[in-house]
Amino acid sequence: AQSVAQPEDQVNVAEGNPLTVKCTYSVSGNPYLFWYVQYPNRGLQFLLKYITGDNLVKGSYGFEAEFNKSQTSFHLKKPSALVSDSALYFCAVRDSRGSGDKLTFGTGTRLAVRP
Amino acid sequence: EAGVTQFPSHSVIEKGQTVTLRCDPISGHDNLYWYRRVMGKEIKFLLHFVKESKQDESGMPNNRFLAERTGGTYSTLKVQPAELEDSGVYFCASSQDRGTGVREQYFGPGTRLTVT
């Protein structure tokens, strides 16, 4: 069975500071990893994905994520946070072995960027 | 290009009533998925259509839920009869045919269902 853990319900950061939103996963095969963001009253927006190759993946709005196989982690990062980054962030995993296309999500982390 | 659309955006019904949610995927996307998020918890997979066929319905909670995708275009998710625990946000997503790649899923804005 595949699973995702987002250990922090909320992350608070000051504008201009770097931010990290944590995600760890568990799958039986190789992972396909995704980050989505949900702004208020909006649907989930795709940010980035890791399938294979370079461990550092760059995505939309200046976000990036680093795949770490030994730690089974896929933390989301941004060098300089903006107030407009305040939103709900979801990490998701799909197992490369079986289980079809379905994504397994974490519980979400609310990012609050203060001016 | 229009995104995934869902209707209605909100629905409030009484326990025992029936509700039908609709999803229109991105044009040309053969894959259509339904997910649900119960308040404060993770987003959970319900089922996956490839065109009009159910590829995976392992996440459907029980037989009160019926999903259809006639003609392989839009999809409906009917809950009959609704129970209190069915409350949550129902998301629809679509993706292109996989081919040899892993395609990201594009999500709609969700339908917030409240059962009282």
pLDDT value for B39: 83
Distance between CA atoms of A51 and A65, rounded to whole angstroms? 12
Distance between CA atoms of B76 and B20, rounded to whole angstroms? 6
Average pLDDT on B77-99 reads: 92
Strand, helix or coil at B2? coil
Which residues from chain A sit within 8 angstroms of residue B26, using beta carbons?
A: none
State the DSSP string of B22-57.
Answer: EEEPPTT--EEEEEEE-TTS-EEEEEEEETTEEEE-
Distance between CA atoms of B91 and B21, rounded to whole angstroms? 10
Would you call B52 exposed, middle or buried from its count of C-beta atoms within 10 A (0-12, 13-18, 19+)?
A: middle
Q: Which residues pair with A90 in a beta bridge?
A: A36
Which pair of tokens denotes residue B34? 């339904």
**For residue range B6-52, what is the model confidence (pLDDT) as tens digits?**
999 999 999 999 999 999 999 989 999 999 999 878 899 999 999 99
Is the CB of B85 inside 8 Å of chain A's CB atoms?
no
Q: Determine contact, residues B92/B68, Cβ cutoff 8 Å.
A: no
pLDDT value for B38: 92
Share of chain A above pLDDT 90, in %: 83
Q: Does the structure show a pLDDT above 70 at B69?
A: yes
- Residues B16-49 as b or e (16 or more Cβ within 10 Å = b): eeebebebbbbeebbbbbbbbbeeeebbbbbbbb
Share of chain A above pLDDT 70, in %: 98
Average pLDDT over chain B, rounded to an integer = 93
Give the nearest chain A residue to B101 (CA atoms).
A51
**For residue range A60-101, what is the model confidence (pLDDT) as tens digits?**
999 999 999 999 999 999 999 999 999 999 999 998 876 678
Would you call B105 exposed, middle or buried from its count of C-beta atoms within 10 A (0-12, 13-18, 19+)?
A: buried
Quote the minimal CA–CA distance from B106 to chain A in Å.
Answer: 7
Give the nearest chain B residue to A42 (CA atoms).
B109
Among A113, A84, A94, residue whose Cα is nearest residue A17: A113
Strand, helix or coil at A87? strand
Band of pLDDT at residue B1, cut at 50, 70 and 90: low
Q: Which residues pair with B67 in a beta bridge?
A: B77
